[in-house]
Structure 1
Amino acid sequence: MRIWDLHCHLSGVAGLTPEERLGSLIKYADRVGIERLCVYMGMKWAQDPSADDLGKQNDDVLRALEKHKDRAFGFVYLSAKHVERSLSELERCVTNGPMVGVKLWVAQRCNDPMIDPIIKRAAELKAVIFQHTWFKTTANYAGESTPDDLVALAKRFPEVPIICGHTGGTWELGIRAIREQKNLFADLAGSDPTWGITEMAVRELGADRIIYGSDSGGRSFASQLAKVHGAQISDADKQKIFCDNLRNMMLPILKAKGIQA
């Protein structure tokens, strides 16, 4: 099967430079048959990045992509806490650069309308939009979004596809939270490879709304691939989850940039 990994980082990986770290990820990806990696956030990041830090994180990814552009896609790291700088980074890294998606993490919850100019511009560029989410029993980080927050955002942009990072961590709740919001897609990355996550997601959302990701180097490729390889679903649905859904979402911006996929 073709496998594209939605969710990779340069942290937690061997290497002294961004290029070396992405090279390490690719080495391990080759062992398990992963064709393309989506990479975002740089060598070392904070939960509440400054505007300048966003730029530094994106610089790391741009360096890594320059050496490995045939194997990786870059997503620009943005924050609704720094809207003007984020819009500037969108232009630098996506409009005028090689990146094809947007990564939104913590610092400002995504239900806040402050984020709307970022979503609007990303949608105009056809960039893939990825929002980290989590339901934590120990309380979320300050500014950390839940799937419920993402539903509130998605309702303001019902025609824009948005990916729910980690399926909310507590995936039984996350799947149900996003179920009725048809422009939201579930990212399988990051949680333990518990039996039943993929089966429930297919049952509740449909295979067309589920995307494989690993969260490497925070998680291993093998443990996260097992969620799909070991799922009791059809091979056709596995292929949608492993590659087709993400590829179809990315095709408009890839074609606009002349990137073969």
Structure 2
Amino acid sequence: MRSKQAPRIRIWDLHCHLAGLAGTTPEELMAELIRRADRMGIERVVVFMGFPFIADPTPDDLRRQNDQVLRALAGREDRALGFAYVSPNHVEASLREIDRCVRDGPMVGIKLWIARRCSDPQVDPIIARAAELRGAIFQHTWSKTGGSLPGESLPEDLAELARRHPDTPIICGHTGGEWERGIRAVRGLPNVSVDLAGSDPTAGLTEMAVRELGASRVIFGSDAGGRSFASQLAKVRSAALSHEDRSRILGGNLRAMLAPILRAKGVAFEP
């Protein structure tokens, strides 16, 4: 008797960039990203930050990089979504970018990188504005053995931020880099989900995250084009998980998180 085949898993990738791909224009870079996603069966990608990466962007840098992403998204609405790049070093400019790109534009969340650690209360107005719009909030975190970059948030910084905003969902980028430390830092904070992107495909990462946080708080991301889709998918596909948990991580959790803002914008998608 033939075994019953498990339903196909729909993959949405939380964490993609235009940098690191072949091409010179946002349109060319997005075409290359989608070509690679097609090879791996990825249905939709979320893109944030333009090129080149700037650690402490000025207001003009933020606007220029968000414009690059807006160009990349145009005509690709069925395959790609965007987050606005913002910085707590420029709160008023960031609020304007959130309104321009999220409230009045097609983007569905915000991305905070390394200009200022997110434990600083200066980030709070940005978090509050994104939450008002029901946009996703993605904060890069990475603890490094040799020391983090100036202004780079540790997972403990994100935990402090999440405690100040207990009713606001926040995504811990890269699961804190040192993922065992990151998972422990956010374990007691139900409003925090972790992003699996960017680190090496080490055995045990996904299983620990599911065990300590629950599958509903774990979201697949790749960090393409800095990382390959294949190596990052391996973290989930090779993990000892049920089909239901694998499906949640590879797309279901992200769709549930984005559903309110997607519906408000009239974006067609299947939950």
What does residue 217 of structure 1 align with? 225
For 1:19 and 1:126, the matched residues in 2 are separated by 28
Distance 2:120 2:59 in 1: 18
Give 1 or 2 for the bigger CA radius of gyration: 2
Aligned to 1:186: 194
Q: What is the TM-score with the length of structure 2 in the denominator?
A: 0.96
Once the two structures are superposed, what CA deviation does each residue of 1:192-211 show, in whole Å capped at 9, x if it has no partner? 00011000111111100000
Q: Which amino acid aligns with 1:126?
A: R
CA contact (8 A) 1:7 1:215 kept: yes
> Which letter does structure 1 place at the counterpart of 2:65?
Q
Query: 1:211, 1:45 → 2: CA distance?
Result: 23
1:86 and 2:86 aligned: no
Task: Specify the code of the residue in structure 2 equivalent to 1:124.
Answer: E
Q: How does 1:95-174 map to 2 (within 5 A)?
A: 95-174=103-182
Runs of 4+ in 1 over 3 A off after TM superposition: none
The DSSP-based 3-state class of the residue aligned with 2:10 is coil
1:203 to 202, 206, 211: 211
Q: CA deviation at 1:184?
A: 0.4
What's the CA shift string for 1:18-75, capped at 9, x where partnerless? 0110110100100111000000000212111111100000000000001312110000
Long gaps (5+) in structure 1: none
Runs of 5+ in structure 2 lacking a partner?
Answer: 1-8
1:43 and 2:18 aligned: no
Of residues 61, 70, 77 in structure 2, which corresponds to 1:53? 61
Superposition CA RMSD, Å: 0.6
CA distance in structure 1 between the aligned counterparts of 2:25 and 2:153, rounded to whole angstroms: 30
The 1-side partners of 2:75 and 2:229 are apart by 22
| 1: CA distance, partners of 2:25 / 2:109 | 22
Matches of 2:27 and 2:77, distance apart in 1: 11
2:98 alignment partner, SS class: helix
Instruction: Give the fraction of aligned pairs with identical amino acids, expressed as a percent.
Output: 63
Question: Does the 8 Å CA contact 1:18/1:43 hold for their aligned counterparts?
Answer: no
Tell me the TM-score normalised to structure 1 length.
0.99
Secondary structure, aligned partner of 2:222:
coil
Q: Give the equivalent residue in structure 1 for 2:82.
A: 74
Q: Which amino acid aligns with 1:236?
A: E
Tell me the CA shift for residue 148 of structure 1: 0.3
1:174 maps to a residue whose letter is G
Distance 2:253 2:76 in 1: 23
The letter of the residue matching 1:118 is I
What SS class does the counterpart of residue 35 from structure 1 fall into? Answer: strand
Distance across 1 between alignment mates of 2:85 and 2:130? 12
- Number of the residue aligned with 2:72: 64
CA–CA distance in structure 2, aligned partners of residues 106 and 122 of structure 1: 18
SS of the counterpart of 1:108?
Answer: coil
What letter matches 2:213 in structure 1? L
